[in-house]
Structure 1
Amino acid sequence: MEQQPPADRGAPGASGGGEAVPTCYRHPDRETGIRCTRCERPICTECMVSASVGFQCPECVREGSGTGHHPAASRPRTLAGGSIAADPRLITKILIGVNLVVFLVVAAAGTKLLDDLTLVGRAWAPSPTGGSVEGVAEGQWYRLVTSMFLHQEVLHIAFNMLGLWWLGGPLEAALGRVRYLALYLLSGLAGSALTYLIAAPNQGSLGASGAVFGLLGATAVLMRRMNYDLRPVLVLLALNLLFTFTWGGIAWEAHVGGLVAGIVIAIGMVHAPRERRTAVQAGTCALVLAATVV
């Protein structure tokens, strides 16, 4: 395919830090600023259960303290209302696995498969029979999705998967599996859509960092919701945006599109009123998807 070399979508990093805060009484290695409204023990995002006011720990929920033994109140929920899972990183592990498998398959298959799956708006693809025009503008909409799981270099996928692991685990625990997966996919799709809209038609683009930037934006929203120190994540975001706009060969459109989508979706998920939480969360995701499609 005659086009410019595919632009990596960068590789956002991640780091922790902040002021000293209490640790979860069930997970001593996890810092938290949330306490059970009944027993006042510190609890992390995996352990917190939504109550009529604030959050409760699993023990208080099981004992029915202050809940009147209502069946719905006995089901543990995440901060965003999702079900608490035994493995809070399952979807993150699956996403990393999918990216790694695709990377190995493409490496084994060669550049032809890479060209067929990379995001490109419209470009000439030569062939022994004369060639053809290919790209999203030619009806190959699947490229908007497949490009989210493509990586060309080991360093590229390594940084993106590290970012996915560091950012994805806490978000998956706080949002629940379904909401977290929606955040990841919609952020990545929004990044692809903005790249298609703004980048040169024959400019190839690939990488998972549009989705990872969405997770970074959502992390900032979640930390603000939990009254954590925002300075570490804001510094991390600023550094990644600096690299985005100063390093060559990076599809900045995917980063910005994913970041904006991640922030909007996270606001809808963690700030939705309890009585209309599911409707607001679904509506926010539908709004982002509609904007992406348009």
Structure 2
Amino acid sequence: MEHQQGGQEPGQYQLPGCYRHQDRETGIRCTRCERPICPECMIAASVGYQCPECVRGGSGTGHSAGASRPRTIAGGTMVGDTRLVTKVLLAINVTVFVAVLATGRDLVEQLAMLGLARADGPFDPFSPPEMLGVADGEWYRLITSAFLHQEFWHIGFNMMALWFLGPPLEAALGRARFLTLYLLSALGGNVLTYWLMAQNVMSLGASGAIFGLFGATAVLMRRMRYDMRPIAVLLGVNLVITFVPGLNIAWQAHLGGLIVGAIVAYAMVHAPRERRALVQWGACALLAVLLVTLTIARTINLLG
């Protein structure tokens, strides 16, 4: 009777062996070259582990002076401060919040997400009413509203989520890719809001971008073969809260951000190494074009 190596039953899944120690099974792979590595060969990186050869190649040991710098799993350049973009985004949100507290509702009405509504003011039968909103040409609202908050609990929850979710993603993707993920998620959430929410109702907050980070975290954890249960529970709880009646939560922004964030992250961490940058930035460009097209279509729909 034949037996599989290592006492495996026929048909049972067998983990690959370490590329340096073939007799040692492992479920961990180098975040750069993706070769299986055992605990003896694991060298801790900003995200996950790297093999000895990739670490030597990144530091220039044993190679020419032109050796490439260490790269993240998405191909971004590894840097010392993996919280820089997260800190900048958090600072922008807090600064705008302070400005809202100082100026009152005026700033909210100027920057919040709004499809199309008539401006407040006395009725004039001899001139058409002044209109506000994205459909009236104020396209900037699709982004500015993602940095806008009115209540302490709202900005507190969003910034706490940004602080915990942002740095691991920034370390894994690199600064430019992480910023792209954040902005496209914010845009995706507001585009879905533009389509599904009443056009004369305002919405605001970074929740669309934050849910994009949730989706990206789930994609990254699956790619790294980490335990999915913590992020699944956290995401499930937040989705349940999103649809609780009476909380006046813009579920459209949450759902749109989640979908876009997951798509962007999938393109970032699953792009083939040979054409990584082309696939990543091409996917982001196509997604941006799609969101702009949907915005134009909704504008045409509202203006009749």
5+ residue gaps, structure 1, are 1-31
Runs of 4+ in 1 over 3 A off after TM superposition: 32-39, 44-49, 54-61, 70-74, 128-131
Distance 2:133 2:68 in 1: 51
Alignment match of 1:61 (pick from 58, 63, 72): 58
Tell whether the 8 Å contact from 1:188 to 1:214 is kept in structure 2 after alignment.
yes
Q: Offset at 1:76?
A: 1.1
Q: Offset at 1:56?
A: 5.3
Corresponding residue for residue 202 of structure 2: 204
Distance 2:226 2:194 in 1: 36
Please report the RMSD computed on the Cα atoms of aligned residues, expressed in angstroms.
2.3
Inter-CA distance 264–71: structure 2 relative to 1 (3 Å threshold): farther
Corresponding residue for residue 277 of structure 1: 276
Tell whether the 8 Å contact from 1:48 to 1:79 is kept in structure 2 after alignment.
no
Distance 1:113 1:291 in 2: 29
State TM-score, norm by structure 2: 0.78
Alignment pair present for 1:40 and 2:41: yes
Greater Rg over alpha carbons, structure: 2
Corresponding residue for residue 218 of structure 2: 220
Distance 2:157 2:233 in 1: 18
Distance 2:57 2:105 in 1: 57
State the identity %.
52
State TM-score, norm by structure 1: 0.81
Corresponding residue for residue 250 of structure 2: 251
Q: Offset at 1:57?
A: 5.6
Distance 1:257 1:70 in 2: 47
Inter-CA distance 208–40: structure 2 relative to 1 (3 Å threshold): same
Q: Offset at 1:74?
A: 3.3
Distance 1:71 1:274 in 2: 23
For residue 187 of structure 2, what is the amino acid of its counterpart? L
Distance 1:252 1:213 in 2: 10
Distance 2:251 2:240 in 1: 10
The count of residues paired between Structure 1 and Structure 2 equals 256
Distance 2:52 2:118 in 1: 57
Corresponding residue for residue 88 of structure 2: 94
Distance 1:280 1:212 in 2: 24
Of the structure 1 ranges 224-233 and 243-252, higher mean CA displacement relative to structure 2 is found in 243-252
Inter-CA distance 240–56: structure 2 relative to 1 (3 Å threshold): farther
Q: Offset at 1:127?
A: 2.8
Corresponding residue for residue 169 of structure 1: 167
Q: Offset at 1:78?
A: 1.0
For residue 241 of structure 2, what is the amino acid of its counterpart? F
Q: Offset at 1:58?
A: 3.3
Corresponding residue for residue 113 of structure 2: 119
Corresponding residue for residue 190 of structure 2: 192
Q: Deviations over 1:89-119 (max 9, x none)?
A: 0000000000000000111011111111111
Distance 1:235 1:256 in 2: 17
Tell whether the 8 Å contact from 1:80 to 1:176 is kept in structure 2 after alignment.
yes
Q: Which has the higher contact order (CA 8 A, sep 6+)?
A: 1
Tell whether the 8 Å contact from 1:33 to 1:42 is kept in structure 2 after alignment.
no
Tell whether the 8 Å contact from 1:48 to 1:77 is kept in structure 2 after alignment.
no
Inter-CA distance 81–41: structure 2 relative to 1 (3 Å threshold): same
